[in-house]
Amino acid sequence: MIKRTLYFGNPAYLRRQDKQLKVLKPEQRKEVASIPIEDIGVVVLDHPQVTISQALLSELVLNNVAVLSCNEKHHPVGLFMPLAGNSLQSERFRIQIAASEPLKKNLWAQTVAAKVSNQADILEQMGKEAKRLHALVPQIKSGDSDNIEGRAARVYWDLLLGDDDFVRERFGKAPNPQLNYAYALIRAAVARALVSSGMLPTLGIFHRNKYNAYCLADDIMEPYRPFCDQLVLPMYYNGEFTSEDLTTDQKAKLLSVLTCDVLIGGKKSPLMTAISRTTNSLFECFAGERRKILYPDFYESRSLKPIS
């Protein structure tokens, strides 16, 4: 079943009752919605006057729901995750921690190859020449020692938005804020799936920043970033981004990235379900049960050419 993503961008009081998330208007405490907690995958809190009860927060955590908190600029700044998300967690932790360095380097090479291949697909959807990216994929070595990921990114963004004097960065002009918002949603979904699969999202196969609690999520989300690009770029070309602030309509569109269709293992699947298949396959690689991580491809291509 596809887990739901709930977005709260207006004042609301959220509480638990009978395994349901109850949404009430804060002043009258009048119920306006009721959602089964077992159906929820991600909750986005994006208003300073959203109040959530401890009972509900505890129930969300027990059901492995990722709770994402946004700041006054509507950018995700915090992620609340359960301490235990799998019945065999301690055993799986030991297996993950014992993974050899050669194995992790091999898994990172697979991850980079999947990301660059999906970036090439985006370029082809735009009618751009993607042979430079396709040529880089066979050059990826264990651990990506030649930094093919970085080289591919420079080519990718230059071909996509180079004519607009665009620089891909954490802070900057559109479409940076919109891309960052969509990436944060993917990151939360990947972190949630990793915990559900019984792994520590902190221990990465490549990312190792000691201040980052989600290094493994940052690793595994890389091949999923182009699906955000596919969603954001048409909005950018259509002139929907008139400022750095995200509108309610923009955020509603960006939330749909978690339910877009992808192709994984030869089958059509919603992106959030595909993420769970990816994290499960990652553990199987750690456990020696398989050799390759299962990553998605584009299920359906569409033209991303700028509108003249």
Domain parsing of the chain, residue ranges:
4-80, 89-298
- Put simply, whether the predicted model's pTM sits higher than 0.85 gets the answer yes
Instruction: Give the Cα separation of 85 and 198 in Å (integer).
Output: 6
Q: Is 207 annotated as a binding residue?
A: yes
The tokens of 295 are what?
A: 């990553």
Look at the block and give the residue holding tokens 């400022």.
243
| Closest by Cα among 25, 54, 59 to 39 | 59
- For the 89-298 domain, the top CATH level (class) is mainly alpha
pLDDT for 84 equals: 65
Provide block-wise average pLDDT over 10 residues at a time, the chain (308 residues). Answer: 87 96 90 95 93 95 90 81 72 95 98 98 93 97 97 94 76 86 93 91 92 92 97 90 80 91 94 95 97 92 56
pLDDT for 263 equals: 95
pLDDT for 301 equals: 64
Look at the block and give the residue holding tokens 């600029």.
73
pLDDT for 303 equals: 62
Q: Is 149 annotated as a binding residue?
A: yes
Q: Decide if 217 contacts 192 (C-beta within 8 A).
A: no
pLDDT for 86 equals: 62
3-state secondary structure at position 144: helix
Domain 4-80: give its CATH superfamily: CRISPR-associated endonuclease Cas1, N-terminal domain (3.100.10.20)
pLDDT for 14 equals: 97
Residue 89 burial by CB count (10 A; 0-12/13-18/19+): exposed, middle or buried? middle
pLDDT for 307 equals: 42
Q: Is 284 annotated as a binding residue?
A: no
pLDDT for 304 equals: 65
